[in-house]
Amino acid sequence: MTDHGVQEHRVLHIGKYFPPRFGGMETYLSDLMNVQKRSGMAVAAVVHQHLPSIRASHEGEEGTTNAAKAAHVYRAARWFNIGVVPFAPLFALTLAKAIKEFRPTVLHIHHPNASGVWALLLPSARRLPWVATWHADILTPEASFAIKLGYQFYRPLQHAQLARTQRVLATSEPYRSGSPVLAALESRCEVLPLGLDQQRLPPIKTQDIVGQASDEPHAPLRILSVGRIASYKGFRHLLEALNFLPEAKLTMVVSGNSAEITALEDQILRLGLSARVNLKRNLSNKALWDQYRACQVFCLPSTDKTEAFGMVLLEAQHFNLPVVACDIPDSGVPWVAAKNRRFALAQPGDAQSLALAIERVMTPEVLHDGRSEENTEIFSLENQAKRLNVIYQQASEGFDNC
């Protein structure tokens, strides 16, 4: 028990992937586990192998004498993907092993994740209270026909999962109110924004903040965008926006398979932007921080509410960079961007609107007072971890009364 009478739970997270896989959900899960562990909580995760494999693996701290304080990652074998859905028929075995060895007191499931439905079939999982973080809807305006078709089969399983879940966490109020799934949960759903582990981020020094201005009067504007290659990310619109920003240069830090990278490179060549676009792949944290320091404005050009939050916006805010994002209906992205001291919003999928927003955010007139100490506390992962421990306790008490 803590000083406030809240039990310190043993939390087993069920996620889709985990670092070194590149992505916002992966970053959040890793950061959250690190913060929870530092607070004295026992944490573990069951995820998929980030590379195709027929074998599961288990990573934990070697030589630790107190297993309760060790962070463990169980990676289930992922044979291949069906579209974006991992095919991992042995996920249930890995989950059962993790529950047996780690002995959690609560399951924290991160949606969307089709493999999470295996918890419904495991008696050991059903004996535990469940908490869920809802990272994004599956059905969105830009969802493909294949996703819409597959969702018809998955929907009953998702409904069964959520019916079995004591507490569901939306990452922003706009997403909670705009999601048909979350709106139907009523009192069981609350908002808990995402955050970053401040100890993973570098300290900011005055000399590091070079993005605010340039000593050269006619120096090109330096734009940065970071993300995994996907149709909803809107990278093609950002590339087209450079036609309206003839002096600007763009650095894109991306991850994706070779075919996706090649397609992006082909578009850069087709638009004649090779001299103005620097494409970087799968950077280390240190190399990524250098890119943030070197740019003047950060742009997240995502066009669909599959981009539900925008973790990279928090990274940009950490480096005191102005941010440009799209005003995506029912997404948390505009809400997160608006917490920055300097931000501008563009129309989704509109290259000229993106260019105008980038120009606008660099003008002296765009100096919003949105960012304050109160706003930065919203994204404090340390505060969120404390709140989560209370939520785990509430879920446990509600579960005991069932």
**pLDDT tens per residue, range 135-146:** 999 999 999 999
- pLDDT for res 65: 38
* pLDDT above 50 for 110: yes
pLDDT average, residue stretch 95-121: 96
Query: Using 50, 70 and 90 to split pLDDT, how confident is the model at 370?
Result: very low
Query: Using 50, 70 and 90 to split pLDDT, how confident is the model at 66?
Result: very low
DSSP string, 24-37: HHHHHHHHHHHHHH
Residue pair 273/266 in contact by the 8 Å Cβ criterion: no
Model pLDDT for residues 276-335, shown as the tens digit of each residue: 999 999 899 999 999 999 999 999 999 999 999 999 999 999 999 999 999 999 999 999
Segment of 1-5, 13-17, 213-217 carrying the highest mean pLDDT = 13-17
Tokens found for residue 217: 């009067």
CA 226 centroid distance within chain: 12
Residue with tokens 């280390």: 284
Q: Report how far residue 29's alpha carbon sits from residue 16's, in angstroms, rounded to the nearest whole number.
A: 10
CB atoms within 10 A of CB 75: 22
- Is the Cα torsion angle 236, 31, 161, 79 positive or negative in sign? positive
Q: Report how far residue 219's alpha carbon sits from residue 24's, in angstroms, rounded to the nearest whole number.
A: 32
Query: Using 50, 70 and 90 to split pLDDT, how confident is the model at 7?
Result: low
Q: What is the pTM of this model?
A: 0.91
* pLDDT above 70 for 195: yes
Residue pair 368/397 in contact by the 8 Å Cβ criterion: no
Model pLDDT for residues 220-230, shown as the tens digit of each residue: 899 999 999 99
- pLDDT for res 88: 96
- Within 8 A by CB and 6+ apart from 356, the residues are 244, 346
* pLDDT above 80 for 348: yes
* pLDDT above 60 for 5: no
* pLDDT above 80 for 351: yes
- Within 8 A by CB and 6+ apart from 96, the residues are 122, 124, 125
CB atoms within 10 A of CB 260: 15
pLDDT average, residue stretch 104-128: 96
Q: Report how far residue 83's alpha carbon sits from residue 101's, in angstroms, rounded to the nearest whole number.
A: 32
Q: What is the mean pLDDT of the chain?
A: 89
Tokens found for residue 202: 């570098």
Q: Report how far residue 193's alpha carbon sits from residue 169's, in angstroms, rounded to the nearest whole number.
A: 8
